[in-house]
Amino acid sequence: MLETQGLGFRYRGGDWLFRGVDLTVAAGAVTCVMGPNGRGKTTLLRCLLGLLQPTEGTVHHDEPAAYVPQTTPGSFDFSVREMVLMGRARAISLFSQPRRRDIDKAEEALDRVGLRHLSDRSFPTLSGGERQLVLLARALCSGYRTLLLDEPAAALDLRNQGALLRICRELAADGYAVLMSTHHPDHAAWLADQAVLMHADRVVIGDARDLLCGDQLSELFALPVSTHLVSEGGGTRTLVAPHYEA
């Protein structure tokens, strides 16, 4: 579990990106962070990870969190297995080779994301969706039970978006604490238990079903957003914005 109290951040001489953030990222649940570009979503994640020192407030966690960045180009010719084994860095001493246990953890993580058959492939040769799932496997290989994902579906096609979202839901069901930033309201509506809406002047945190609705998202993005039921029984919603004028 990860908690913040009164968390705030601004760059020296700049305006506040966010203030007064009281957030609990609980085990067994998914929290989705949403807001327009430049509102501080990535900065919030960096504060939660300890990569940035918050200007005010505190971050408490039971253990370090594992991080899944946005897909990055593969500059080095590591194999998929080697990329995932990097998640075991804390358990492998300097100048030591991975042990059998470390390799087994890497294989288990690749099994979890459905990519064990690519273990020996060169990471730079993978598709963008496959790379993103490898980065998720690397985070799982760390053994940490809190996962922070920065817009993990931003560059993925529909098939890979669906695969990643299903895995996140399964991880939460297995007791992981999952926090992800996203620009896709429909992803958050399908996946999230808790939502964090980053407005220009405040951060609103609450139950996802209450916050991921037309009125709240219309205010957040300054664009009319409507909510539609797309399955019987009230189980699934989708959110639609008028991107194009007639």
For 148-163, write each residue's pLDDT tens digit.
999 998 878 888 899 9
Mean pLDDT for the chain? Answer: 89
Write out pLDDT tens, residues 81-128: 999 999 987 756 555 667 788 889 999 999 999 999 999 999 999 988
Domain membership of residue 162 (yes or no) is no
Domain membership of residue 118 (yes or no) is yes
- What is the 3 state secondary structure string of the chain? CEEEEEEEEECCCCCEEEEEEEEEECCCEEEEEECCCCCCHHHHHHHHHCCCCCCEEEEEECCCCEEECCCCCCCCCCEHHHHHHHHHHHHCCCCCCCCHHHHHHHHHHHHHCCCHHHCCCEHHHCCHHHHHHHHHHHHHHCCCCEEEEECCCCCCCHHHHHHHHHHHHHHHHCCCEEEEECCCHHHHHHHCCEEEEECCCCEEEEEHHHHCCHHHHHHHHCCCCEEEECCHHHCCEEEECCCCCC
Residue 228 is predicted with a pLDDT of: 76
Domain membership of residue 167 (yes or no) is no
Domain membership of residue 73 (yes or no) is yes
Residue 91 is predicted with a pLDDT of: 59
* More confident of the two residues 229 and 115: 115
Is the pLDDT at 54 greater than 90? The verdict is: yes
Domain membership of residue 126 (yes or no) is yes
Domain membership of residue 100 (yes or no) is yes
Is the pLDDT at 134 greater than 60? The verdict is: yes
How many domains does the chain divide into? 1
Domain of 125 in residue numbering reads as 67-143
Domain membership of residue 91 (yes or no) is yes
